[in-house]
Structure 1
Amino acid sequence: MRTAKPSDVQTRLATSTNPQRLLDAGAALVENRLDVAERLLRAHLKDDPFDVAAIRMMAELAGRIGRLGDAESLLRRAIELEPAFTAARANLALVLNRTGRHADALELLDTILAEEPDEIGHLNLKAAILGRLGRFDEAIATYRAVLARAPRQPRLLLSLGTMLKTIGKLDEAIPAYRAALDFQPSLGEAWWSLANLKTFRFTETDIATMRSVLADPALGPEDRVHLDFSLGKAMHDAKDHAAAFAHYRAGNSLRLESQPYHAAEVTTLVDRSIAVATPDLFAPGRGGETAGDPIFVLGMPRAGSTLVEQILSSHPQVEGTGELPDLPALARSAGQYPGLLTTLAREQRTDLGADYLRRAAIQRQTDRPRFIDKLPNNWQFVPFILATLPNATIIDIRRHPIGCCVANYRQHFARGQAFTYDLADLGHYYRDYVRLMAHIDTVAPSRVHRIFYEQLVDDTEAQVRALLAACNLPFDPACLSFYETERAVRTPSSEQVRQPIYRDALDEWRHYEPWIGDLVDALGPVTASYPAAPATFGTQS
């Protein structure tokens, strides 16, 4: 969360009943000693439950550990007690943005900027939100305006580069990343942003600089993770696959320390989903929003969902809106998922489907009748889609199990994909994904159109025609020249989908065969049966 301005902090401390305890709690937050901070803040709020500075700090702590709902409630309480508490309002805008309510965040931020028009932190957040809303030109203009006043801002240059990359302006994005590194060579995220362009190649000087920075014992864990993944990419390009894998393993292991993953939770979710997803649950006449606007493109990350989105977005009737957070948020907020599906009345199904369309509409930038939601992890919520949006199109894009999982292991995700940090976790996740989708094929036959990435590469036209037919769209030749379509692409595949399909990446995983035994074991029978699902999945080990 954004830290309050010193004057704001001083004002709140001056009115606190125990300013030293708040200072100690703030120091603990800075040092990431969250248990100490929580103990101090709870004691303080027990003594003075109306101290808005302490409430805001407790909200920051909640946000740090992912309890964004608690953070929002605390911030709203602080603002209720002190409407002029600007730092709390700015924090609330950040929480709203992180929970997918970008329009609400922008509205709140505009009121704050009316009072503090020159505050760089507010302007930076506004630019980020504009980007999430697809207003890229405004976002870029905002970043440039800030940098014109304060040019030595490596993180702002990093954000500007990412926004330029999103709209395909690599000739401007790369200099922005380079400028950020000129100011701060240890900024790991800037190195990874270059590596994540896929088509970019590091120079020997770049590699030497990254190694030198990585060797510094004072380097923070976040920068260290980014540099390991960047050097992994550099070594992969240099065909030194042993060194590449060592860096990928180091980066993933370090990331797993800060973002632990529990594979059993997804397995349990799939077990419960299979138990409730019966043919009767999806029978005609059970309710749901009947609009057929959405096209859900889902599956594993790095399986080709961005490519499918680019193909479909090249059709004049389809708009690509990227990876929307709304479906998982709705499914989880409606009750205990997936059990809630058996209790939803007809009207509730319809209301939930309509609510999804209202939320998704915020991301719509054109009047095209159809739109794509390509959040890969939506495979976990296919039963929810079928129950609340019965006329939506569902596209499952699938890639060879080992190839897909190794590609995920080599990709550093900012957040939300903690299963990618361990090879065994990756195998279990892929296996659960195939297991649920196989069940859906049984209880709701023909409702999911499946594309296999390898077949899309080998016979593109036939696969594209079948895809369009599954979406009830007429064939359009623009879908075959998808790489010529100019649109914003936020995902790691942004540069790859701006060129014709190529086969080079299909067998890259074989370079890493000596080190992926845990993955192969976890995938079990899924690999041997590919592209079909196995008749039995056995037990997860």
Structure 2
Amino acid sequence: MADHPQQHAQKIMQLMNAGQFPAAAKAAKAAQRKFPREGLFSNMVGMALAQGGNPREAIGFFTKGLKLRPGDPDIQNNLIQALLSAGQSAKADELIDKLLAKRGDSAILWHFKAVAHSQLGQPERVLDYATRAVTADPNMALAYNLRGIAHSDLGNDLKAIADFEKSHALNPNDPDPLSNAGLPLSRLDRTDEAIEVVEKALALRPDHVNSLHRYAVLLAEVGRVDEAIAQYKALLKADPFHGEGFSELIKTQSAEENAALEPALRTALAKTPKKSPAQVFLNLGMGNLLYQKGEIDKAARFLSASNKLAAQSRPYDAGKAEQEFERIKALFPQGSTLPASGDTETPRPIFVIGQPRSGTTLTEMILSAHPDVTSCGELPLAGRLTPSIVQGDAPFDPAGFAAAFRENLPAIPEGAQAFVDKMPANYRYVGFLLHAFPKAPIIHITRDPRDVALSMWRSHFPSAWMNFTFDLKAMAHHANLYKRYMAHWNAVYGDRILTLDYRDIVSDVEAASHSLAAYCGLDWVADMAAPERNTARVRTASVVQVREGVHKKSLGGWRAMQSHLQPFVDALDPALWPEVFVDQETEGQ
């Protein structure tokens, strides 16, 4: 009886359904040699390779399959998915554009296009393309989920939650939308709901990587550190190469526990492709692990590798930052006066500003330990309300700004008299904030820029605004720019800004808490001098540190990596940072 291609195809599919991808690829290659004119088997080789974790090799077989079967939508889709899985987003996008002109089933192509631009870090375009996908197919759960991610990336938390709910309703067995909903729910201070949906996702699939990761993060945020550590370990069991899992666990558990983690981390580093995004976090984790061990030179090599990889995909635009500064300075020139009236509603805002990693989280925890004050974390609202003014010609309307700011606040507990917005980047927007909220306290936290640089160098920040943190010279440029911003604001509104040094806060937290209470018009309470007891959630890189209690261990920490941080110090402006250069001269004597 003559061999029939269908018999081979059935055998190959059985192997793939059983998860035997190498055997399936081998059988498909044999069938391909036997039936060289059958594009079916080129496609099946590609499928086996892609599902077996080798999308790069699969691309060639899908391409060959299309030459034999031009116009086959299944092979076209498989090729696009392989390109996306291999990180070749631009090539995938180019192919999608060609196919959109030819094919009628546009929903899946718009979805793929949204995925491509998600990988390219363009959430606005993801939003557009995912919306086109759900318009073409209102039952496409994957597209709603992806649009929800775009909304979440853009800070549209309520819209994100609505899309994740729609995706889950369309496909109740998919844990991804539930897991993804955890982040916007958390940002809206709906912590119990966030934990509930992630636990529901884990009930659907206990080894679901995204859910394990989100659950660990949520537990750490609410101070359930031991449980968070257990979840991180479960995550690494499910995915032994999860870069963020390693990096976050190393910052969460003790140095002794991290020493036991080192062999697994070294294995992950060796087996993960060198240009994989996971390498950013794997190198970061190893750098911090070695730093804990005191192996500073080795730590520096890994930290440098991590930041170099991150900088390649997220370059810093110094020119754009300079243009923004000049535009804002022109909007609020010296001689500007604050309006006689403005938003004075309750709860009133308290703004804590400074460089990232300068002590803004600690300050927020001191303030929100007061029973009348609630923590709102780092609100991105000022940055979202200003682009049309700063980058365009839209007029600044303080009343409209204040109304929009309040409209987008997370839920504030009933009875709260004030809320803290500790977004460090708000040092750029002091003029906007004071004109909108003329009575709002502005608290500026300063810290030795070398300690700030070391802390940023040892962290990873997802915000595009913080692309400067991946390059020491870019970090120095931004530090200089920050100093210029604050010099301007102090010249214009100096009497409205309280400046505290991080060193003074950690050296005498009780005295600092008295100063903060008095400046913000609060009656001092003893809990303000013990911020580690504050149960407010922490959603920043300080999530573990603030639970340790106030200490001075990090003061002068930069000295351990002084030679490695020298490019940063050399690029600082001595006129802006005289204390740094006086310090260097003193040490050199």
Match of 2:276 in 1: 221
SS at match of 2:538: coil
Query: CA 1:145 to 1:19, structure 2 compared with 1: closer, same or farther past 3 Å?
Result: closer
**Mapping of 1:36-47 within 5 angstroms?**
36-47=91-102
Separation in 1, partners of 2:288, 2:248: 11
Match of 2:427 in 1: 379
SS at match of 2:277: helix
- What letter corresponds to residue 382 of structure 1 in structure 2? V
Separation in 1, partners of 2:281, 2:246: 7
SS at match of 1:371: strand
- Answer yes or no: is 1:161 the counterpart of 2:210: no
Deviation at 1:503, TM superposition (A): 1.0
Match of 1:126 in 2: 181
Match of 1:481 in 2: 530
Separation in 1, partners of 2:116, 2:223: 37
Superposed CA offset, 1:78-109 (max 9, x none): 33343233322222222112211212222333
SS at match of 1:440: helix
Match of 2:578 in 1: 529
Separation in 2, partners of 1:231, 1:175: 20
Match of 2:259 in 1: 204
Moved more, 46-55 or 394-403: 46-55
Question: Are the counterparts in 1 of residues 367 and 373 from structure 2 also a CA contact under 8 Å?
Answer: yes
Query: CA 1:153 to 1:57, structure 2 compared with 1: closer, same or farther past 3 Å?
Result: closer
Separation in 2, partners of 1:59, 1:325: 24
SS at match of 2:260: helix
Moved more, 176-185 or 303-312: 176-185
Moved more, 138-147 or 93-102: 138-147
SS at match of 2:521: coil
Q: 2:85 aligns with which of 27, 30, 35?
A: 30
Match of 1:269 in 2: 324
- What letter corresponds to residue 388 of structure 1 in structure 2? A
Superposed CA offset, 1:51-77 (max 9, x none): 222222222333333332232233333
- Answer yes or no: is 1:67 the counterpart of 2:122: yes
Superposed CA offset, 1:423-464 (max 9, x none): 111111111001111101111221222111011122322222
**Mapping of 1:278-317 within 5 angstroms?**
278-279=333-334, 281-285=336-340, 288-291=342-345, 293-317=348-372
Superposed CA offset, 1:128-160 (max 9, x none): 332222222232233233323422233322221
Question: Are the counterparts in 1 of residues 339 and 435 from structure 2 also a CA contact under 8 Å?
Answer: no
**Mapping of 1:104-253 within 5 angstroms?**
104-197=159-252, 201-216=256-271, 218=273, 221-253=276-308
Question: Are the counterparts in 1 of residues 236 and 245 from structure 2 also a CA contact under 8 Å?
Answer: yes
SS at match of 1:301: coil
Q: Which gives a bigger RCO, structure 1 or 2 (Cα 8 Å, sep 6+)?
A: 1
Query: CA 1:89 to 1:213, structure 2 compared with 1: closer, same or farther past 3 Å?
Result: closer
- What letter corresponds to residue 480 of structure 1 in structure 2? A
Moved more, 247-256 or 409-418: 409-418
Q: Which runs of 5+ in 1 are unaligned?
A: 1-5, 7-15, 534-541
Separation in 2, partners of 1:131, 1:528: 38
Separation in 2, partners of 1:217, 1:453: 39
How many residues end up aligned between the 2 structures? 511
TM-score, normalised to structure 1's length? Answer: 0.87
Query: CA 1:279 to 1:199, structure 2 compared with 1: closer, same or farther past 3 Å?
Result: farther
Deviation at 1:42, TM superposition (A): 2.3
- What letter corresponds to residue 524 of structure 2 in structure 1? F
Query: CA 1:148 to 1:369, structure 2 compared with 1: closer, same or farther past 3 Å?
Result: same
Deviation at 1:282, TM superposition (A): 4.0
- What letter corresponds to residue 298 of structure 1 in structure 2? I
Match of 1:390 in 2: 438
Separation in 2, partners of 1:135, 1:446: 37
- What letter corresponds to residue 128 of structure 1 in structure 2? L
SS at match of 2:571: helix
- What letter corresponds to residue 86 of structure 1 in structure 2? A
Separation in 2, partners of 1:200, 1:515: 22
- Answer yes or no: is 1:423 the counterpart of 2:472: yes
- Answer yes or no: is 1:512 the counterpart of 2:561: yes
SS at match of 1:284: coil
Q: 2:457 aligns with which of 403, 409, 433?
A: 409
- What letter corresponds to residue 402 of structure 1 in structure 2? R
Query: CA 1:58 to 1:111, structure 2 compared with 1: closer, same or farther past 3 Å?
Result: closer
Separation in 2, partners of 1:532, 1:217: 42
- What letter corresponds to residue 515 of structure 1 in structure 2? H
Question: Are the counterparts in 1 of residues 350 and 441 from structure 2 also a CA contact under 8 Å?
Answer: yes
Separation in 2, partners of 1:282, 1:67: 38
Question: Are the counterparts in 2 of residues 289 and 351 from structure 1 also a CA contact under 8 Å?
Answer: no
Separation in 2, partners of 1:328, 1:49: 40
Separation in 2, partners of 1:476, 1:279: 38
**Mapping of 1:432-511 within 5 angstroms?**
432-511=481-560
Match of 2:402 in 1: 353
Separation in 2, partners of 1:166, 1:109: 22
Query: CA 1:225 to 1:44, structure 2 compared with 1: closer, same or farther past 3 Å?
Result: same
Q: 1:82 aligns with which of 137, 153, 161?
A: 137
Q: 2:111 aligns with which of 35, 40, 56?
A: 56
SS at match of 1:221: coil
What is the Cα-based RMSD across aligned positions, in Å? 2.6
- What letter corresponds to residue 125 of structure 1 in structure 2? N
Deviation at 1:18, TM superposition (A): 5.7
Superposed CA offset, 1:331-367 (max 9, x none): 12xx1416657x33xxx3211211111101x243443
TM-score, normalised to structure 2's length? Answer: 0.81
